[in-house]
Structure 1
Amino acid sequence: MVIKETYRLMTKNKCEFLNIILFTQFMILFGSFSIMKYCLKWLLVFVGTKSLTLDSIPNILFSPIAWLLLIVILLIATISIYFELSTIMLGIMAYKHQKSLSLRAIFHHTIKNLKEDISPQFIWLLLYFVSAIPITQLGYHSFLLNKLSVPTFISLELQKYFFFMLLYIVFLLVSIYIHIRLIYALPLLVLSRFTIKQSFVKSWALTKAKGSFVVVPYLWIWGVFQIGQHSVAFLSEKSILLLGHEMTFIKLMMSSTILALSILIICFLHFSLKICISVLLVDVLFKKELVTDTYYLDKQYKQYPIMRWIKYFGLSSIICFIYGITCVYMFFYQFEDKTVVIAHRGDSVHAVENSIEALENAAKQSADYVEIDIRLTKDNRFIVSHDNNIKRLSKLNKKISDSLFDEIHGVSVTDGIHVSSLVSLEEYIEKAKQLGIKLVVEIKHHGKEKSDYLALLANIFKRYDVEKDYIVQSLDKEIIETFQQKAPNMKVGYIVPFQFGGIPDTTVDFLVVEESSYNHHVQDLAHFSSKKMFVWTVNTKKEIRRHLFEQTDGIITDKLDLVHQTKNELSDNHSLIQRYKNVSQYLFVQLVK
């Protein structure tokens, strides 16, 4: 019933409603995004840096102008999300009352509502949207929120500790529960005269009432659309199979058309899902007579023909762009194996992380480098370990920084499946040289090191004659730049776990960014500054395919086997069906996410 009503809503008046929604999406993309980027740029100028990183956050905290610009950015984001979702709600109500709704009317009502809602309560609306970031893939979300996610490295690190993993799961469950209870808040805010606080309170009370619990139909609708999207992808691939494996001009054109059509249908299903869930929510409120007031539909605005032409021109441009980009990739894409593959702490899937066995397994799987972490003992010896306290892997509550080398060296470690022992940096280098594999050495700083420890590390690399082969990196900019002075012949890198804007000012040879902070523009900026760009931690098939497809400089991964599998798929680019698979699996993620 809901899906049928959504279909009628979207096809009424020659899809005018859909055109308005698409138009608002692109207004947000090219309007809100541009303003937010401009504000961020000026924010960074005022704090005297080129990028927003963990290092620059303290400068922002002590700059009133930076705070002001940050508030402006958050307000623009909140208003954009509010405007995007209110467009759908207003369109549904206009349809129910059989009245037309123009973009001008939506603007007028949204601005009027925002003027009334701008108050200290507005912070609750902002927090409501921010709390939705971990669950944006559950269907009812904003275009802006869908671009944000919890960084992978945070969730991966939390999973290594039972207590923190439990806290993270509880956090996700609480977030889901809150959004279930507040699921009517935004429709009430847009379609009624309730304030933000009243909308939240009313939604909380309403979700207790009989007939208001929409989780089951919500999940049912979400499941139907997921099946629909996968069915479209499946049918498009089967259609290409019917064309055969041989590549000809006609077949390439036909496959490009099929791919472009599939992407457009899946985009349509994405919008339809959001509208369908909105119809479900508005229906409940409508039946309970909570949104019967139609004051926002009383005033009618003249519809200017130019606006309709602009909207249809925008829609046509989208279709042409998608078709054009599929044709370009289908005709010209050739995979080149240029991405450096770095095994994160060795092959930590089939051995204990940072162990000799992990090194050996990574060498067998032909990794270009093996990344390891080193810590300094109390008597100035380097141990290969990620954690300062070895309790996680050894069950011994002992810190490397407070221990002598002989007390910590050789201690048994296990990940629950595999068993190994802690080794020195020298032992690791000797084994790596024997296996013929290079190392990426990350300096872990615990704050108790003596002033000459970087010179000590540089001498170790010099003694083993690996200065030109190994790479050294660190999360601490000052440490890595100091080490660069101690070992001028070595390549060094600065790890930037949280990064927005341009690239930081530094003398290092390469930058390492977290996967969620990476984009191709940032890599181009790095190249312009004669720096390489590595990305961590790249572990999913989607992420691996993207970075190999775009020829990112380097990826740090725990999934060496998955990387090799994806490389083989991308290398097999000689048949029509394989070329289609390589291009489609990349474009589906980039254009439809």
Structure 2
Amino acid sequence: MKVIWRNLCQYSKNFWQHWISFIILFVGMDLANQLIFIPLFRLATTYILQAGGIPFISYQNIGILVTQHTMVVIGLLIELVLLLLVIYWQFAFLLLGLRLILGNQASFKRLMKESWIAIQNIRPGSLPLMLLYFILVLPFVDLVFRTPLLSKVQIPEFIFDFMTRNNMLLAGLIVFYVIITILGIRLILTLPLMIYQRRRTRDALVRSWQLTRKLEWWQYVKRLIVLGVVTTISLGLFYLLIFGLQTLMDLFPGKFAFVMAIFNLTLVQVISELLTIWTGTIALQIVISLLDDFSTSDEQVRKSSWHGWTAIALLAVFAGSLAVVNNYYYLKGSGLTRPVTISHRGVAEENGVQNTIPAMKKTHRLHPTYVEMDIHETKDHKFVVLHDENLKKLAGVNKTPHELTLAQLTRLTAHENGHHAKIASFDQYLNAAEKLHQKLLIEVKTTPTDSKGMLKRFNRQYGKRIIKDHDLVHSLDYRAVARLKQLNPKLKVLYIQPYNFSYPKSVADGYSMEYSTLNFEFIQQAHRQKDVVYSWTVNDSNVMKQMMYNHVNGIITDNLGELNSTIKDYMGSKSYANRILNFILAVPTSGGLEP
């Protein structure tokens, strides 16, 4: 442990000797991502899809996309190649910047030149191998070589939630993560070898595997673990100090507490960013220490040249100023709007069986704005309130809704959460909701076995009634969304998206977006088009606060009681200390200067 601590102290000393250089390096990369790369790639994806007349990519249109929209597929593949090259360039920029800074040779012009050379050394045949490498080891490599662009690449949380509910899938998920963790550890040197020694991808992969054999990898993993613990404890103590300090400041009368709150919140962002950069710099030094031939340069050491960094420094100051202005309005409570509360599948804190009338009646007592529920078409072309495409899990019958009539379905009893209740028809559920004056968010489930006139029949039977009750409709099938809007333009229909690929642009009146890939930029773009954005399925208090901070219009949750108390805490708190705490819990502070 003494050796590890001595190494970390040396790496930390290296950082503080060049801390301004490292801040400019990392902040410059962050600004390039936020202002250039991320917006450009989102615009490119949106433009390519719009040019092909495709509003969104989903599992339902991927087959049609591949077979009927060749030029769109080619455009997306070209964009994927460019994305891969940009990610690799960012790795080169950070690693080469680290070497130049440690060698007192920091020069923007030289760094750009060397990182460009690194890109030129990539051979077209290496791209598929690089893509496979990133897919396999990204969850681990991202802990060391982390950039804002990489943070956008993630698996939606609902997939993890689904897999953890089944023992076989959970076991598979654990095995998968064990494998990619081992691969990430053994292949961590691939990128430094490609960038520093200009090795080909295949050669770098083999050499990394050789250098980490016989538990050689354990020496850097131990250091990374200790670094993570130190960072977590330091950040936690700092947040606790700021919270305690602001709690005292809140006792002072007048505007003093408010001014100090702005200062303290800005300090939280700055220190969080600084600590993130410190951690990233040390993590990079830990990894490259395994390369025996690592050196700064054969050239004579000279003083740093900062002429090329002036624009970056000015942009950083500008971003910091925007952060201060944002903090002013956040602490003042300006622009905060209470999100609508939506009970997922009509239950709250497991108070009944999903999509059943007894559960909806209990949930109604918690005053949700909407009760979200699901409908399927039956064998006799009617509608039943049900989420799953098979009845085995809830009712113990291995049948689909299309194999049974509505009368047969409503005779079945569903069991869940220690409760039981009869499966309801949509008419029964709608009648019960109207008696309670409870608004609904109706998800229209579609399957390949649906009748051709299903949507037309649904609109004819329920369209006017839904509009009168101020209910909403949403669907995961964009074709259903577009068809319903065509049949009844007055019907409010939202499009459910499991992943955020591009900017919002469709015939839908809004979006129900899976929360883990939903960001402020998407919400802002949707609001400019007068569309609403609801996030699903948000069951954690901190994520609820994050969604509110990003100005989401509504939150779909299984824990309605917790959502109500979180909204009260977030929206109603008059304590600046609590608002700072909410910010810390709600906003990923690794990007502390991000608005």
Query: TM-score range, shorter-chain basis?
Result: 0.7 to 0.9
- The letter of the residue matching 2:125 is P
Instruction: Give the stretch that moved more between structures: 83-92 or 357-366.
Output: 83-92
- Tell me: CA distance 1:188–1:403, structure 2 relative to 1, closer, same or farther (3 Å): same
Secondary structure at 1:144 match in 2: helix
Once the two structures are superposed, residues 237-263 of structure 1 have per-residue CA deviations (whole angstroms, 9 ceiling, x without a partner) of: 011012134563222111211111121
2:579 aligned with 1:573, yes or no?
no
Residue 433 of structure 2 corresponds to 432
**Equivalent residues of 2:376, 2:444 under 8 A apart:** yes
2:163 aligned with 1:171, yes or no?
no
- The letter of the residue matching 1:129 is F
Secondary structure at 1:117 match in 2: coil
Deviation at 1:93, TM superposition (A): 4.0
Secondary structure at 1:70 match in 2: helix
- The letter of the residue matching 1:388 is E
CA distance in 2, matches of 1:124, 1:51: 28
Once the two structures are superposed, residues 344-390 of structure 1 have per-residue CA deviations (whole angstroms, 9 ceiling, x without a partner) of: 10115312221223312321211111111111221233221111211
Residue 363 of structure 1 corresponds to 364
CA distance in 1, matches of 2:247, 2:529: 45
2:84 aligned with 1:78, yes or no?
yes
- For 1:123-162, list aligned pairs within 5 A: 123-132=128-137, 134=139, 138=143, 140-162=145-167
Instruction: Give the stretch that moved more between structures: 104-113 or 275-284.
Output: 104-113
2:349 aligned with 1:349, yes or no?
yes
Q: CA RMSD in A?
A: 3.2
Residue 394 of structure 1 corresponds to 395
Deviation at 1:155, TM superposition (A): 2.6
Instruction: Give the stretch that moved more between structures: 429-438 or 198-207.
Output: 429-438
Secondary structure at 1:269 match in 2: helix
Residue 257 of structure 1 corresponds to 263
Residue 515 of structure 2 corresponds to 515
2:39 aligned with 1:43, yes or no?
no
**Equivalent residues of 2:164, 2:170 under 8 A apart:** yes
CA distance in 1, matches of 2:83, 2:371: 40
Residue 552 of structure 1 corresponds to 552
Residue 312 of structure 1 corresponds to 313
**Equivalent residues of 2:415, 2:421 under 8 A apart:** yes
CA distance in 2, matches of 1:494, 1:14: 47
Residue 276 of structure 1 corresponds to 282
The number of equivalent residue pairs is 585
Residue 34 of structure 2 corresponds to 29
Deviation at 1:137, TM superposition (A): 7.1
Residue 409 of structure 2 corresponds to 408
Residue 239 of structure 1 corresponds to 245
TM superposition score normalised by structure 2: 0.88
- Tell me: CA distance 1:252–1:529, structure 2 relative to 1, closer, same or farther (3 Å): closer
- Tell me: CA distance 1:448–1:91, structure 2 relative to 1, closer, same or farther (3 Å): closer
Instruction: Give the stretch that moved more between structures: 150-159 or 229-238.
Output: 150-159
Once the two structures are superposed, residues 201-247 of structure 1 have per-residue CA deviations (whole angstroms, 9 ceiling, x without a partner) of: 12223322244323232222112112222222111101101213456
- Tell me: CA distance 1:215–1:13, structure 2 relative to 1, closer, same or farther (3 Å): closer
- Tell me: CA distance 1:522–1:323, structure 2 relative to 1, closer, same or farther (3 Å): closer
Residue 499 of structure 2 corresponds to 498
Secondary structure at 1:208 match in 2: coil
CA distance in 1, matches of 2:312, 2:501: 32
2:107 aligned with 1:102, yes or no?
yes
- Tell me: CA distance 1:153–1:5, structure 2 relative to 1, closer, same or farther (3 Å): same
- Tell me: CA distance 1:471–1:40, structure 2 relative to 1, closer, same or farther (3 Å): closer
- The letter of the residue matching 2:135 is V
- The letter of the residue matching 1:230 is G
CA distance in 2, matches of 1:410, 1:274: 60
Residue 480 of structure 2 corresponds to 479
Residue 114 of structure 1 corresponds to 119
2:192 aligned with 1:187, yes or no?
yes
- Tell me: CA distance 1:61–1:112, structure 2 relative to 1, closer, same or farther (3 Å): farther
**Equivalent residues of 1:359, 1:370 under 8 A apart:** yes
Secondary structure at 1:231 match in 2: helix
CA distance in 2, matches of 1:246, 1:577: 13
TM superposition score normalised by structure 1: 0.88
Secondary structure at 2:495 match in 1: strand
- Tell me: CA distance 1:383–1:348, structure 2 relative to 1, closer, same or farther (3 Å): farther
Residue 386 of structure 2 corresponds to 385
CA distance in 2, matches of 1:100, 1:453: 69
**Equivalent residues of 2:92, 2:118 under 8 A apart:** no
Once the two structures are superposed, residues 415-436 of structure 1 have per-residue CA deviations (whole angstroms, 9 ceiling, x without a partner) of: 3644333222222223223333
Deviation at 1:266, TM superposition (A): 1.0
Residue 13 of structure 2 corresponds to 8
CA distance in 2, matches of 1:465, 1:190: 60
**Equivalent residues of 1:572, 1:578 under 8 A apart:** no
Instruction: Give the stretch that moved more between structures: 154-163 or 461-470.
Output: 461-470
- Tell me: CA distance 1:418–1:9, structure 2 relative to 1, closer, same or farther (3 Å): farther
Deviation at 1:55, TM superposition (A): 6.3
Secondary structure at 2:116 match in 1: helix
Secondary structure at 1:330 match in 2: helix
Residue 207 of structure 2 corresponds to 202
Residue 445 of structure 1 corresponds to 446
**Equivalent residues of 1:6, 1:272 under 8 A apart:** no
- The letter of the residue matching 2:396 is K
Deviation at 1:556, TM superposition (A): 1.7
Residue 3 of structure 2 corresponds to none
- Tell me: CA distance 1:371–1:125, structure 2 relative to 1, closer, same or farther (3 Å): same
Residue 423 of structure 1 corresponds to 424
